[in-house]
Amino acid sequence: MKKVAIMIAIILISFFNIIYPNNTDTLSVETFNAVKQADNVRNLELYQKARALCERQLLINPESNIASYHLAYCSFRISYIYLSDKDMTNFNKYMDEAVKLLKGNIERNEMDAESIALLSTCYGIKITADYSLGQSLGEQCMILISKANGIAPDNPRVMIASGIVKFNFPDFFGGDKTKANELFKNSVETFKTLKNDKYAWGYSDAYAWYLTSLITLDKQDEAKKVIKEALEYNPEFGWIKYGILPKIKNYNN
């Protein structure tokens, strides 16, 4: 019986290693693609599916910051959908989960710039949901993004998070839309040369934020050039295809 038990254990370990190769720092292909698919359409059901896959991977390896990060990312996206629907109960449920997971990642690895940057963005969304949190969480956003930049200034997702803070915060609290535009542009350029990215999101979002900042700064000619690049990279990214494209004047593909 002991030999049988050992054989079963070996088979199970081999099985999970096939599904989740190097699962301490890598998502399975299925999970990675599920997150990207959900991002393309920002669909609640697809995010729930991707979230379930992340949960399954985290169950196999509870110490995986990559799996925990993507579970937090899916919960963050789900919370924003509920916020848009004014369903504050579910917004708080999923946002609180995202914050808890990201804090756990940072406790395990205080140099986890990805989790620090995303936590900053989560706090920004919490402020959007309740402006009375602006003073307390606004300061925490700035501290977190400063820390993330100190750890990984060339990380394109850190650049996105930094740009979001600069774009959305008022001038007297560190906001600067021109600086945000530069950060989003730098993020796009960094993604262009990034190889073997382990994180399932960012490139299309960098384009979307860059385009949003260009339109805000009334740089329509530049926006026309950038959106062509963005749609060539990912023609199915709904935020750009349906949300931003109609805002660009006289654009002909």
Residue 241, pLDDT above cutoff 90: yes
Q: Give the CATH fold of the 149-253 domain.
A: 1.25.40
- Does pLDDT of 10 surpass 70? no
Measured at the CA of 204, the angle between CA 185 and CA 147, to 5 degrees, comes to 60
pLDDT above 90 for 117: yes
Distance between CA 185 and CA 116 in Å, rounded?
A: 21
Would you place residue 8 in the very low, low, confident or very high pLDDT band (cuts 50, 70, 90)?
very low
pLDDT digits (tens, 9 = 90+) for 163-187: 999 999 888 778 899 999 999 999 9
**Mean pLDDT, to the nearest integer, of 178-207?**
97
User: What is the pLDDT confidence band of residue 1, given thresholds at 50, 70 and 90?
Assistant: low
The proportion of the chain whose per-residue pLDDT surpasses 70, expressed as a percent, equals 90
76 vs 196, higher pLDDT? 76
Task: Determine which of 136-140, 155-159, 176-180, 223-227 has the lowest per-residue pLDDT on average.
Answer: 136-140
pLDDT at 253: 62
Model pLDDT, residue 12: 43
Q: Please, what is the end-to-end C-alpha distance for the chain in angstroms?
A: 67
Which string of b and e fits 138-160 if b means at least 16 CB within 10 Å?
bebbbebbebbbeebeebbbbbb
- The string of pLDDT tens digits covering residues 32-87 is 999 999 999 999 999 999 999 999 999 999 999 999 999 999 999 999 999 999 99
Question: Is the pLDDT confidence value at 218 over 80?
Answer: yes
Q: Are 244 and 211 in contact (CB under 8 A)?
A: yes
Distance, in Å, from the CA atom of 198 to the CA atom of 212, rounded to the nearest integer, reads 26
| Long-range own/partner contacts, residues 160-166 (CB < 8 A, 24 or more apart) | 160/117, 160/184, 160/187, 160/202, 160/205, 160/206, 160/209, 161/117, 161/118, 161/120, 161/121, 162/117, 163/187, 163/209, 163/213, 164/121, 164/124, 164/209, 165/120, 165/124, 165/141
Rounded to an integer, what distance in angstroms lies between the CA atom of residue 176 and that of residue 168?
Answer: 8
Q: What angle do CA 221, 170, 180 make, to 5 degrees?
A: 40
pLDDT of res. 23: 40
Each domain of the chain, given as residue ranges in start order, spans 149-253
- Please state, in angstroms and as integers, the Cα–Cα distance from residue 72 to each residue in 39, 176, 218, 224, 239, following that order: 14, 28, 34, 34, 21
CA distances from residue 27 to 57, 91, 107 in whole angstroms, order as listed? 8, 26, 21
